[in-house]
Structure 1
Amino acid sequence: MKHTGKRLFQYAALFKKPLLLALLLLAAAVSAELAGPFIARQMIDRHILGIEQPWYETGSATQTDMAVPYDGTFFKRSDNYAPGEAKGKEVRILQAGSAFVFIDQPLPFDGNRELKDGRLIVTKGDQRAEYPAQKLSMQELFLFYEPQWRHLINLALLYLGLIVLGAIFTYGQRYLLQSAANRIIQRMRTDVFAQIQRLPIQYFDNQPAGKIVSRITNDTEAVRDLYVQVLANFFTGTIYIVGIIAALFVLDYRLALLSLPVIPMLYVWIRVYRKFATRYNHEIRERLSSINGMINEAIQGMPIIQVFRRQQETQREFEQLNDEYTDYQNKMLSLNSFTSHNLMNVIRNVFFFALIWMVGGGGMNTFITVGVLYAFVDYLNRMFHPMVGIVNQLPNLEKAIVSADRVFELLDEKGLDVAEGRADRYLGNVKFEHVSFAYKEGEDVLKDISFEAKQGQTVALVGHTGSGKSSILNLLFRFYDVREGRITVDGRDVREMPKQLLRQHMGIVLQDPFLFTGTIASNVSLDDPAISRERVEQALRDVGAAEMFGALPRGIDEPVIEKGSTLSAGQRQLISFARALAFDPAILILDEATASIDTETEAVIQAALDVLKKGRTTFIIAHRLSTIKNADLILVLDRGRIVEQGSHDALMQQRGRYYQMYQLQQGHPGIAAAAEEAERSV
């Protein structure tokens, strides 16, 4: 968590300006909002309940000095007198039940009030006093409140202005925070996709495509929720809680001390929750990746699934993964339900009970005004609201942390930076010197391979499946590096050359060509600006495909969907072949390039090859030996070793393994069997 949190912070630091501005706006919004209860306290204690303060007779009769006329005399409230101003006789206006009464004298003490037969009875413990009381009408009461209306309206407008200002600050804060979060995730996705370009081929051999896609999409989106929702709630909640506690100390330190236990309770709550949620979320994200991987595999292999009637078995496998995913989701649901805001509401009610006991049950010996009590209850409600928000975001926090772990795990995979620039075109002299290689430790697939291919030569690799043909080309491309020996191009060890620059002058045509979504032309050029349209058209002419694709409605601008499924196998192969030729490689690799092409199309390609192979070193992997009769060098492999090498005629004269393979393909199994028997006898 510490390592992940640090890296998440580093990503956030890339966009620190909008984030810091968002936090400043958040602090301003919180300040504006938390000022509300103070204003409400002022309105209640001073301008509403302040009517019960002492009033004094005054000779002044102007409206500006807050004098109020009653029964032929003017009165002014004690807090409206200027320092040193003379005061007359003291009177009081008090509330008894729902009525307000005028008392023509001061009160030595206050307590429980009762209005009875025109007299106000005040009791406090053993003390009891009676006062003549004149009940005020609504009009008379309004006169005593009238001087306060201007202040009440001003405070109400200030309250409204702070609400509007807080809403503006909140909008700006959320906009900046979310836009910064989007940019952070944009950067993270870019880094992840760039990392994929840097990873070696063996990584993709061991990882289903769906799981990798899940990390780029689902996991980064979960991390986005961390910045947009989780951190927003945590930052907002923290600032609110700190601000409210500070405000509570300003109101009354004893009430503030009552609220302090909330902080350690919240900390313990988060610790307990994360202990269980982390494990559940790891399993949930892993099951989700597996589901994505299986869906991707099922879509890619749907023809095979349907042909071999594997729909029900595939469905059962999916349901098993789905059930496991749902089980862990339900466990998270149970945990969230137990630690949800309902439990927080219970804790809040406990605090309210403690407040009632302290204020009304003798827990506090000093008087607390109604305004202070109102403000405290308001602040306490406001404090629990962000706490509920923090608690409710704990599932998203755990999900985001787990997803971030998975994203950073991918980013931490050892890769190789993509080399920039261009390398001079090499001649294409290739030499293998005692090369041995194993995909797994102790299981060599190539053993002491040595041969030389000179510029312009065609080298054919033949042998049964698993003999090591494709492994030789994988090493030449540096998809993998040799374990023993070395490979040189023009005398230079390929391990000393950046992989991208080495491959810059290599071209390949696979047995099962891969086409990208786009057009025929874009699949030939791969949108490389160095490949002009004229060069694309020339490559298609060289492979004999110009007329075929020219007959399409849009010619070479005909759309190609994913994998080129609307084109025939031969058409896809011709595009792949033209692609390799358009890049004018010094070394050309044909991996069963004509296996999917009909005889007529193969004849066209073979004719083009005679011209195109000049000046290039060409490697051909072929099972149909008739296509490599003109190769300069044929390597016959068996179990990772070169057992024969030479030209077609020389190998036929040896009457060895190549001879047997050729006779079998030509339909002479008897001759091949006899040769094999003779070889065994020797």
Structure 2
Amino acid sequence: MKTSTEQKLFQYAWIFRKQIFIGLVCLVIAVALELTGPFIAKRLIDQHIIGIENQWYQVQENNDDQTVSYEGKLYKRSDRIEETDEIVSTATILQIERSYYFIDEEIPLTGSRKLEEGALILETPEKTYSVVADQMTIPHLYHFFRPEVTGIYRLLTLYVFLLLIAAGFQFAHTFLLQQSSNRIIRKMRDDLFAHLQKLPIQFFVNQPAGKVVARVTNDTEAIRELYVKVLATFVTSFFYMTGIYIALFLLDVKLALMSLGLVPIILIWMSLYKKFAGKYNKVVRTAVSDLNGNINEAIQGMSIIQAFRQQKETSAGFEKLNDKHFTYQKKLVRLSALTSFNLVNVLRNIAFVAFIWYFGAGSIGPGSIVTVGVLYAFVDYLNRLFQPVTDLVNQLPQLEEARVASSRVFEILDEQEEHMEDTQIDRYEGNIKFDHVSFAYEEGNDILKDITFEVKAGETAAFVGHTGSGKSSIMNLLFRFYDPQKGKIFINETSTKEWSRQQLRSHMGIVLQGPFMFTGTILSNVTMNDENISREMAINALKAVGADRFIEKLPKKYEEPVKEKGDSLSMGERQLISFARALAFDPAVLILDEATANIDTETEELIQEALDVLKEGRTTLVIAHRLSTIQKADQIFVLNHGTIMEQGTHQKLIDQKGEYYRMYQMQQGAASIKAV
């Protein structure tokens, strides 16, 4: 069963589930503490600020701080009465507009109120009251408010305290989730880079380097944004909205049910956005990879571009890709701009219309359906509800971008890798045999056709021929960069397929026509950071091939820094270092892929001396361009269109006066002309 992109992302997150779980617990606690604010405000308003509007009982004694003195009498609010209090009579305090009135009798607190000719008229569905009411002065009013001051300070202190605790849990949640996110991406990048090194060479032939780099860097960075920001926002918004809905249900079930209508709207919108934005993001991410590939190619070939004055044409190609990226990025921006901001505003306005209609219509009648504190709490919660909605909608572009980037990363991770087997095998002698081998990079276009030859241990065999004759393909098969479609390849009578590629290559070395230098030092380029190659072994190898002649003149000698591709060194110097690299690893089979093709004549003698040291005691296969460098070879194979047309020693082939003789004469003639 194929695993979806979402499942793979979840599997990576599951690795760090403990830390993520603790972070989510901290988030739940932080959200719960933050959402206590409106409830505390509701209690502060209803119980303390407007709680003075209530029935007040006249009592005999002043036995606590809840007792208020008014016109020589003692009063306590009805909800503050204790069993030990002796009630004498009941009074009522009501508010009309901005003034409070004291009524020396008990009347209802709900209903329509007005003043007529010094009397307070209170209309309820059951009865109309007309009572004498005394307008309270500020000093008198303060007496009734004074018992509430302690409660107000207590609630405010509690709220500040809860906010401080919530801030601590919020910090822990943010830190833990972001740390987990960075660890996930670190592991993903490690896995991706390790996987790349296990892929067959064919993958890299078909994939430009810039595109691969874009997936390792740009796409994983987009996924990091998914874990760090997008998923954190979604999780936070989910818990926040859940907490708000719980609070709304506690306040008013009917309006909470109405507010639930937001959820399907958001889900439908996310589904529609995913449909359109997914297509756009796929093009955008592909365009980014193409841009990286184009830039990488342009930088690598800048000298050629400038030499042939192709700056304008190169820029035109780049601009075409850049315009494609810009066009689809603009479509994404338009999609977000037309919907995200408007969607949240429309939802907010609809919710507030429903809120005003529900509460307003219910409050017009004789009896108010809710308290001022409940009204405040609902407004507060509705405002808070739309913040996570806004966050969710705003993160949809990043979510889709990350999904597309994830699919591109997992495409590489799903590529079939080579079987890895690092178990050491005994060093083979190097008897090599190709038995009726045929090979094609593409089906129906054979590069090698029924090739058969044998090279004995310790011999030097050279392969010559025109471009496309199959010389490099033989080396690719021997190294098992590819496997032949027909025939078998043997080393010491053992088929190369019986060993893993790592085991086979463990006793092989290669020197390429263009020696590759890694960023580091001369020594690190010889040891390749292999623990089995000591500093002394590397230096001895460099001295053996004669590289010490120029290294000793360098400021830091063997620790001299090597820049990218070794551009600070000459071609001959780089080649000597690559010889030393091969010698340090002491291979049984050495492959020289036109190792002297780009060497000038003056350096060639030094290189030949190094080659003599390098070939000693090992089987050497040489892809030769200069026939003058292979005259001492034990065997020379002349290839033509994938077949061996001639075979023998240099002298034997010269005596045959065939293709090899013709090639040799041409090179000798060219050399004579150069000498003249």
Deviations 1:146-178, CA, capped at 9 Å, x for gaps: 111111111111111111111111110000000
Q: Which residue of 2 aligns with 1:426?
A: 428
Q: Deviation of residue 63 (structure 1)?
A: 2.9
- Write the letter of the residue equivalent to 2:162: L
Q: Distance in 2 between matches of 1:304 and 1:609?
A: 32
Q: Deviation of residue 599 (structure 1)?
A: 2.1
Instruction: Confirm or deny: 8 A CA contact 1:97 1:114 kept in the other structure.
Output: no
Deviations 1:67-100, CA, capped at 9 Å, x for gaps: 1000000011100112585422111111111111
- Counterparts of residues 247-396 of structure 1 (less than 5 Å): 247-362=247-362, 367-396=369-398
**Is 495-504 or 100-109 further displaced after alignment?**
100-109
Q: Which residue of 2 aligns with 1:465?
A: 467
After superposition, the Cα gap between the structure-2 partners of 1:364 and 1:424, relative to the gap in structure 1 and judged at 3 Å, is: farther
Give the length in aligned residue pairs: 669
User: What SS class does the counterpart of residue 197 from structure 2 fall into?
Assistant: helix
Q: Distance in 2 between matches of 1:620 and 1:267?
A: 65
Q: Distance in 2 between matches of 1:126 and 1:407?
A: 73
Q: Which residue of 2 aligns with 1:192?
A: 192
- Counterparts of residues 48-447 of structure 1 (less than 5 Å): 48-64=49-65, 66-83=66-83, 85-108=85-108, 110-115=110-115, 118-123=118-123, 128-362=128-362, 367-447=369-449
User: What SS class does the counterpart of residue 63 from structure 1 fall into?
Assistant: coil
User: What SS class does the counterpart of residue 222 from structure 2 fall into?
Assistant: helix
Deviations 1:228-256, CA, capped at 9 Å, x for gaps: 11111111111111121111111111121
Uncovered stretches (5+) of structure 2, i.e. residues with no partner: none
Instruction: Confirm or deny: 8 A CA contact 2:290 2:321 kept in the other structure.
Output: yes
Uncovered stretches (5+) of structure 1, i.e. residues with no partner: 671-682
Q: Which residue of 2 aligns with 1:559?
A: 561
After superposition, the Cα gap between the structure-2 partners of 1:543 and 1:364, relative to the gap in structure 1 and judged at 3 Å, is: farther
Instruction: Confirm or deny: 8 A CA contact 1:428 1:490 kept in the other structure.
Output: yes
1:43 matches 2:49: no
Instruction: Confirm or deny: 8 A CA contact 2:456 2:619 kept in the other structure.
Output: yes
Q: Distance in 1 between matches of 2:108 and 2:230?
A: 57
Provide the aligned C-alpha RMSD in A: 1.9
User: What SS class does the counterpart of residue 594 from structure 1 fall into?
Assistant: coil
Q: Distance in 1 between matches of 2:568 and 2:120?
A: 98
- Write the letter of the residue equivalent to 1:632: D
Q: Distance in 1 between matches of 2:35 and 2:73?
A: 42
User: What SS class does the counterpart of residue 22 from structure 1 fall into?
Assistant: helix
Instruction: Confirm or deny: 8 A CA contact 1:506 1:586 kept in the other structure.
Output: yes
Q: Which residue of 1 aligns with 2:491?
A: 489
Q: Deviation of residue 580 (structure 1)?
A: 0.9
Instruction: Confirm or deny: 8 A CA contact 2:362 2:369 kept in the other structure.
Output: no
User: What SS class does the counterpart of residue 50 from structure 1 fall into?
Assistant: coil
Q: Which residue of 2 aligns with 1:679?
A: none
Q: Deviation of residue 612 (structure 1)?
A: 3.6
After superposition, the Cα gap between the structure-2 partners of 1:434 and 1:84, relative to the gap in structure 1 and judged at 3 Å, is: same
Instruction: Confirm or deny: 8 A CA contact 1:244 1:383 kept in the other structure.
Output: yes
Instruction: Confirm or deny: 8 A CA contact 2:572 2:607 kept in the other structure.
Output: no
Q: Distance in 1 between matches of 2:545 and 2:671?
A: 35
Deviations 1:192-216, CA, capped at 9 Å, x for gaps: 0001110011100010101101111
After superposition, the Cα gap between the structure-2 partners of 1:485 and 1:73, relative to the gap in structure 1 and judged at 3 Å, is: same
Q: Distance in 2 between matches of 1:495 and 1:357?
A: 80
Q: Deviation of residue 127 (structure 1)?
A: 6.4
Q: Deviation of residue 598 (structure 1)?
A: 2.1
Deviations 1:256-287, CA, capped at 9 Å, x for gaps: 12211111111111111111111011011000
Q: Which residue of 2 aligns with 1:674?
A: none
Q: Distance in 2 between matches of 1:160 and 1:287?
A: 51
After superposition, the Cα gap between the structure-2 partners of 1:108 and 1:197, relative to the gap in structure 1 and judged at 3 Å, is: closer
Q: Distance in 1 between matches of 2:48 and 2:103?
A: 20
Deviations 1:454-513, CA, capped at 9 Å, x for gaps: 011000000000000000000000000011000011111101111111111111111111
Q: Which residue of 2 aligns with 1:573?
A: 575
Q: Deviation of residue 406 (structure 1)?
A: 0.5
Q: Distance in 2 between matches of 1:615 and 1:567?
A: 29
Of 626, 635, 638, the residue aligned with 2:637 is 635
Instruction: Confirm or deny: 8 A CA contact 2:60 2:87 kept in the other structure.
Output: no
Q: Which residue of 2 aligns with 1:673?
A: none
Identity of aligned residues (%): 53
Q: Distance in 1 between matches of 2:615 and 2:579?
A: 13
Deviations 1:336-388, CA, capped at 9 Å, x for gaps: 01221342122111111111111122499861111111111111111111111
Q: Deviation of residue 568 (structure 1)?
A: 0.9
Instruction: Confirm or deny: 8 A CA contact 1:273 1:339 kept in the other structure.
Output: no
Of 612, 617, 620, the residue aligned with 2:619 is 617
User: What SS class does the counterpart of residue 120 from structure 1 fall into?
Assistant: strand
User: What SS class does the counterpart of residue 296 from structure 2 fall into?
Assistant: helix
- Write the letter of the residue equivalent to 2:546: G
Instruction: Confirm or deny: 8 A CA contact 2:57 2:75 kept in the other structure.
Output: yes
Q: Distance in 1 between matches of 2:262 and 2:473?
A: 65
Q: Which residue of 2 aligns with 1:514?
A: 516
Q: Distance in 2 between matches of 1:2 and 1:98?
A: 67
Instruction: Confirm or deny: 8 A CA contact 1:663 1:669 kept in the other structure.
Output: no
Q: Distance in 1 between matches of 2:604 and 2:438?
A: 34
After superposition, the Cα gap between the structure-2 partners of 1:137 and 1:257, relative to the gap in structure 1 and judged at 3 Å, is: same
Q: Distance in 1 between matches of 2:101 and 2:513?
A: 103
User: What SS class does the counterpart of residue 570 from structure 1 fall into?
Assistant: helix
**Is 103-112 or 653-662 further displaced after alignment?**
103-112
User: What SS class does the counterpart of residue 533 from structure 2 fall into?
Assistant: coil
Q: Distance in 2 between matches of 1:88 and 1:486?
A: 114
Q: Distance in 2 between matches of 1:530 and 1:178?
A: 39
Q: Which residue of 1 aligns with 2:653?
A: 651
- Write the letter of the residue equivalent to 1:449: I
After superposition, the Cα gap between the structure-2 partners of 1:418 and 1:363, relative to the gap in structure 1 and judged at 3 Å, is: farther
TM-score (norm 2): 0.96
Q: Deviation of residue 116 (structure 1)?
A: 5.7
After superposition, the Cα gap between the structure-2 partners of 1:2 and 1:333, relative to the gap in structure 1 and judged at 3 Å, is: farther
Q: Which residue of 1 aligns with 2:10?
A: 9
Instruction: Confirm or deny: 8 A CA contact 1:226 1:397 kept in the other structure.
Output: yes
After superposition, the Cα gap between the structure-2 partners of 1:599 and 1:20, relative to the gap in structure 1 and judged at 3 Å, is: same
Q: Deviation of residue 132 (structure 1)?
A: 2.0
- Write the letter of the residue equivalent to 1:121: I
Q: Distance in 2 between matches of 1:556 and 1:98?
A: 91
